[in-house]
Amino acid sequence: MYQMNKTTVMIAILFLVTAIAQQLQVTPPILLGQAFSKELIATIMDQPIDEQYEQLKQETGQTHLVAEAKHEKLLLDNTSASRVLLLQQELADKRRQFRQEAQSSDVTTLDLRKPSGLSAGEADRLLAGTGLEGLGKAFVEAENDYEVNAYYLIAHAAWESGWGNSKISREKNNLFGFMAYDNSPYQSAKHFKTKAEGIDVVAKFISQNYLQESGRYYHGPTLKGMNVRYASDGNWNRGIAKVIRSLVNKPVNDPMIA
């Protein structure tokens, strides 16, 4: 069973109190005042969820009612809506963690295998009004399939393609300049049927060759490590880092994300 944050625990406690109060035919505030002090609530919130229910039984003396309330809560937790909400909360936590790291540390040294916490909808909102608009799902799916951070993938594509406006990206659906060698960039650049296909192929290639320890060009799963073999431009890693930082500072208008 997953660990709940304090806000969620308080909601669970209030749910139990309300359920018990309804069956005892008293108002929740009355039962809350009788059963809990501020100190007790604080103590309960710091315990694992099963211990919270056990303490509720002891403090209220209503073993049967608490058991019923727990059963009802578990049923509610097992609904599709609850599972979706839990997934949203997990994504929000991951996104918040990555944002904090990107804002407070050297982005060129961040592990590019770390999850972004972005949903497809959030990624689409980040890309709205750019030449990459509508590709949020492709970037997020590539992260999920190959463990390559979606913020990085978006930043890499934006940097190489001028936010989807380069000739190679427009005519060959190649957002990354993949296989575009210095002496013949357009001619050598690989052509993809769709931009989504290009994102998938390049994300897999980068994961296998640059971000995994067994990779042919592995020098650490970071922008600095990639720059050793991926790009002839020694400032490549810093350019993409700037785009990543601008992305994490951009609001996505989602109330789940702080």
What would the pLDDT profile of 211-244 be if each residue is shown by its tens digit? 999 999 999 999 999 999 998 899 999 999 999 9
Structure tokens at 98: 């990555």
pLDDT at 146: 98
Nearest to residue 135, comparing CAs of 147, 126, 146, 144?
A: 126
Domain residue ranges of the chain, discontinuous segments joined by +: 6-78, 94-248
Q: Quick one: how far is CA 46 from the chain centroid? A: 26
**How many other C-beta atoms can be found within 10 angstroms of the C-beta atom of residue 105?**
10
Would you say domain 94-248 falls under CATH 1.10.530.10? yes
Structure tokens at 154: 């978006």
pLDDT at 217: 97
Question: pLDDT tens digits for 109-140?
Answer: 999 999 999 999 999 999 999 999 999 999 99
d(CA 235, CA 241): 10
Alpha-carbon Rg for the chain, nearest whole angstrom, is: 25
What is the pTM assigned to this prediction? 0.67
